[in-house]
């Protein structure tokens, strides 16, 4: 139990005294830090093993969230094949070995893992005498593939193309080259990301949706030194090639080199789940509000660490799930909103927003019916009184609504835009890409110093554990804000549901 400080108790008593009876009866009880703490403590306990998708930790997480949502009064989505759950089929790949030999007039050139890392798409890949083409950034100024890569090994630069804004980043460019028929794509590391970091990233398991387009049969990274040595063996100057590639009309250069490549990997298919529930509206008009937040975290992330092998994900994102539970209790327990409200706990956000992408591809409610998606992620960062920032802002009617609702709760708006760069790092991005207005609203991304402090310390480490040091004041306030936002966006009188 939490004891109200003396002054707050007086203020609360005064409020009750002056509020009209109907207001007092209909008002949602404020979300308390204690109730959030209870959920976070359980979800981030070692028993949940860091909530890795496809693990026993997932089963426990599902049981807990479904249990809490059912208690709150939410229902499974009618007609779903697996009540409360949406299966998300995944494929996990772990590179286990690889070699590359480049054959040129001047003799063979082979690199060890100081120079190259390779990942095969399938369990065993073997390519022989593949032509090698340097493609620069792999695209032209219009963002189209710039060279004939069919059946070839494409060598591409990591950095963003310098000849346009909003051009695809290297992952997308790598996929575009695969779609254009490249047998393999090697990315030349950049000075911006240290080689050892790329090498380490490539040696980790990667997970994709089973429905995802297949990549090239081999992908990997070349160190800048290895790339230079390869160009030199081909009789070309790496610096000159790099300079030529800066032109928007660059068409690539076929090198007088062929490659023999082998790569092995363990490939595992398994299923994880989005958890989806519905609060049927009192006067549904065909529009719906969607609350979402990811339930997954990194699981047993440090298996060899004798001190702590579990990334518990207390802040990221047990805190968001705690808020989703608290919000569901208020909205289902109080006056019933007009519109249907959906609650979704997504899987595999940490692996690339995969659960959210799956939902966007296979929505249980038509995406065009979702008037707003409100994502809640990493919310236990700030104290009470932190202004409200919105990731995904920019649509005037929505921004005005957030401003109005926040104002009603006495919250200030922070619209300096500092949080905007995080837009691609959260589940709302997957829905936004399909035209759903997706907002992430709250205080956690308002005070950048606090957010950066978390991102630079406990974030994605075993140290992201629950303790009384985790600030919950801002999270409780943000939970109240989401209750109010849910009511406002689900109110057919207040929100037309079709605003642009
Ligand atoms: Zn994370």
Summarize pLDDT for 227-265 with one digit per residue, the tens: 999 999 999 999 999 999 999 999 999 999 999 999 999
Give the model's pLDDT for residue 11: 42
| H or E element in which residue 97 lies | strand 85-104
Q: How far is the CA of 170 from the centre of ligand 1 (A)?
A: 21
Taking the C-alpha atoms of residue 135 and residue 139, their distance in angstroms, rounded to an integer, is 8
Compute the distance from residue 345 Cα to the ligand 1 centre, in Å.
Answer: 14
Q: Say whether pLDDT at 21 is over 60.
A: no
Task: State the distance from the centre of ligand 1 to the C-alpha of 454, rounded, in angstroms.
Answer: 11
Q: Which residue has the tokens 């802002």?
A: 393
Separation of 428 CA from ligand 1 center, angstroms?
A: 14
Q: Going by DSSP bridges, is the β-strand pair 206-209/85-104 parallel, antiparallel, or unpaired?
A: antiparallel
* Burial label, 226 (beta-carbon count in 10 A; 0-12, 13-18, 19+): buried
DSSP string, 101-139: EEEETTEEEE--TTTEEEEESSSEEEEEEEEEEEEETSB
Task: Determine the distance separating the centroid of ligand 1 and the alpha carbon of 315, expressed in angstroms.
Answer: 9
pLDDT higher than 50, residue 184:
yes
- 296 alpha carbon to ligand 1 midpoint, in Å? 9
**Distance between Cα 461 and ligand 1 center (Å):** 10
Q: If you measure from the C-alpha of residue 316 to the centroid of ligand 1, how many angstroms do you get, rounded to a whole number?
A: 5
- Cβ atoms of residues 158 and 170 within 8 Å: yes
Residue 453 alpha carbon to ligand 1 centre in Å: 15
**Distance from Cα 351 to the centre of ligand 1, integer Å:** 9
Task: Kindly give the distance from the C-alpha atom of residue 314 to the centroid of ligand 1, in angstroms, as a whole number.
Answer: 10
CATH 3.40.630.10 is the classification of domain 28-90+271-489 = yes
pLDDT digits (tens, 9 = 90+) for 405-415: 999 999 999 99
- Average pLDDT in the chain: 92
Distance (Å) from CA 117 to ligand 1 centroid: 25
pLDDT confidence of residue 282: 97
Positive or negative, the CA dihedral 160, 162, 168, 170 is negative
Please report which confidence band the pLDDT of residue 17 belongs to, taking 50, 70 and 90 as the band edges. Answer: very low
The contacts of residue 79 (CB under 8 Å, 6+ apart) are: none
Burial call 265-276: b when 16+ CB within 10 Å, e when fewer: beeeeeebbbbb
What CATH number labels 92-267? Answer: 3.50.30.30
Digit-coded pLDDT (tens) for 374-395: 999 999 999 999 999 999 999 9
Structural domain boundaries in the chain: 28-90+271-489, 92-267
- How many angstroms separate the alpha carbon of residue 425 from the centre of ligand 1? 9
- The answer for residues whose C-beta is within 8 angstroms of residue 476's C-beta and 6 or more apart is 30, 31, 32, 33, 36, 384
Using the predicted structure, report yes or no on whether residue 79 has a pLDDT greater than 90: no
């Amino acid at each position: 139990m939490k004891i109200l400080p003396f002054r707050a108790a007086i203020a609360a008593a005064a409020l009750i005294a002056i509020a009209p009876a109907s207001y007092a009866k209909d008002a949602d009880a404020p979300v308390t830090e204690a109730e959030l703490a209870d959920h976070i403590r359980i979800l981030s306990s070692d028993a949940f093993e860091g909530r890795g998708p496809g693990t026993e930790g997932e089963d426990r997480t599902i049981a807990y969230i479904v249990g809490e949502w059912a208690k709150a009064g939410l229902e499974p989505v009618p007609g779903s094949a697996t009540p409360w759950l949406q299966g998300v089929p995944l494929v996990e790949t772990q590179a286990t070995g690889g070699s590359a030999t480049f054959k040129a007039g001047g003799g063979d050139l082979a690199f060890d893992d100081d120079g190259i890392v390779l990942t095969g798409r399938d369990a065993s890949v073997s390519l022989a005498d593949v032509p090698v083409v340097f493609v620069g950034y792999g695209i032209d100024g219009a963002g189209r593939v710039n060279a004939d890569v069919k059946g070839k090994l494409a060598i591409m630069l990591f950095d963003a193309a310098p000849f346009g804004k909003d051009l695809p980043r290297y992952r997308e460019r790598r996929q575009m080259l695969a779609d254009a028929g490249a047998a393999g794509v090697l990315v030349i590391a950049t000075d911006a990301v240290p080689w050892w970091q790329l090498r380490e990233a490539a040696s980790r398991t990667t997970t994709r949706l089973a429905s995802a387009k297949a990549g090239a049969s081999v992908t990997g990274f070349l160190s800048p030194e290895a790339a230079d040595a390869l160009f030199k063996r081909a009789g070309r100057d790496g610096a000159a090639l790099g300079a030529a590639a800066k032109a928007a009309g660059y068409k690539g250069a076929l090198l007088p080199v062929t490659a023999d490549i082998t790569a092995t990997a363990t490939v595992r298919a398994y299923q994880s789940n989005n958890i989806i529930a519905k609060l049927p509206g009192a006067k549904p008009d065909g529009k719906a509000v969607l609350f979402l937040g990811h339930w997954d975290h990194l699981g047993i992330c440090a298996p060899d660490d004798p001190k702590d092998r579990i990334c518990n994900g207390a802040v990221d994102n047990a805190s968001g799930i705690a808020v989703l539970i608290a919000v569901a209790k208020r909205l289902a327990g109080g006056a019933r909103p007009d519109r249907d409200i959906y609650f979704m706990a997504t899987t595999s956000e940490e692996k690339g927003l995969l659960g959210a992408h799956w939902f966007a591809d296979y929505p249980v409610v038509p995406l065009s019916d979702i008037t707003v998606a409100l994502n809640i992620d990493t919310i236990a960062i700030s104290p009470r009184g932190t202004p409200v920032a919105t990731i995904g802002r920019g649509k005037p009617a929505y921004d005005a609504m957030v401003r109005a609702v926040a104002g009603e709760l006495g919250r200030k708006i922070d619209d300096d835009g500092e949080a905007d760069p995080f837009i691609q790092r959260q589940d709302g991005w997957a829905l936004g890409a399909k035209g759903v207005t997706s907002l992430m609203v709250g205080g956690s991304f308002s005070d950048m110093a606090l957010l950066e402090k978390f991102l630079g310390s406990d974030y994605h480490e075993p140290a992201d554990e629950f303790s009384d040091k985790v600030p919950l004041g801002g999270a409780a306030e943000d939970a109240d804000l989401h209750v109010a936002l849910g009511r406002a966006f689900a109110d057919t009188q207040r929100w037309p549901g079709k605003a642009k």
